[in-house]
Amino acid sequence: MSCTQLDGSQTRCRMGGESTGYQSRKSAKTSNIIFLCDNRGQMISMGNPRSGNHHDLYEIEDVMGEIIEILSEAEISHKGLFLNADSGFDIENLRQKLEMEEIMGNIKTNPRNGKTGNNDYYFDEKLYKSRFKIEQANAWLDGFKSLLIRFETLDITWKNLHFLAFSLRLIKKLKVQTTS
């Protein structure tokens, strides 16, 4: 695993509960969570849920710390990884956090930030094309009703449901590889 993909997801919350807030774009209470997957679309880590009235960059340094902590607990080295993220993650705080953690951020420059194409940030267009794997992984997670619409009121329960889904995805991939 040398390249990972980062993206967030807003989930509607029907029952309220911890880490929920009104998201005008969805016209509902939502929770926001940031995911990290590998190049095969296997989710490998995530941050703790945040209230939906916050955007993906809210407390992003803490979220990256949570993601890295899960990787460390699983004995997955994060040093030297390439991390693809869309232009919505183009902020200096995240770039500094990644550099501090020895992760190479391959983040598309956000033109709304007033930056020009002449910056010193690393960006590899060919590597960035693999970012669609996180979109596929998020779409696969949407196949679980309990993850598509949040009915759980406790963050820990909802987060653990995600870990169960990650495990199921891994088991299915292993099963396909062993039968091939």
**pLDDT tens for each residue of 45-75:** 999 999 989 888 889 999 999 999 999 999 9
Confidence of residue 97 (pLDDT cuts 50, 70, 90): very high
Query: What pLDDT, in 10s, does the model give residues 23-44?
Result: 888 888 999 999 999 998 999 9
Residue 57 sits at φ, ψ, to 5 deg, of -85, 0
What DSSP line would sit under 21-73, residue for residue?
EEETTTTEEEEEEEEEE-TTS-EEEEPPPEETTS-TTTTHHHHHHHHHHHHHH
Confidence of residue 113 (pLDDT cuts 50, 70, 90): confident
Q: Which helix (H) or strand (E) holds 84?
A: strand 82-85
- What global pTM score does this model have? 0.88
Domain 3-179 = CATH 3.30.420.10: yes
| 7 beta partners | 35
Q: What distance in Å separates the CA atoms of residue 165 and residue 180, rounded to the nearest whole number?
A: 23
What is the average per-residue pLDDT within 119-144?
89
Write down the pLDDT at residue 54: 86
Query: What pLDDT, in 10s, does the model give residues 134-168?
Result: 999 999 998 888 889 999 999 999 999 999 999 99
Q: What distance in Å separates the CA atoms of residue 78 and residue 104, rounded to the nearest whole number?
A: 10
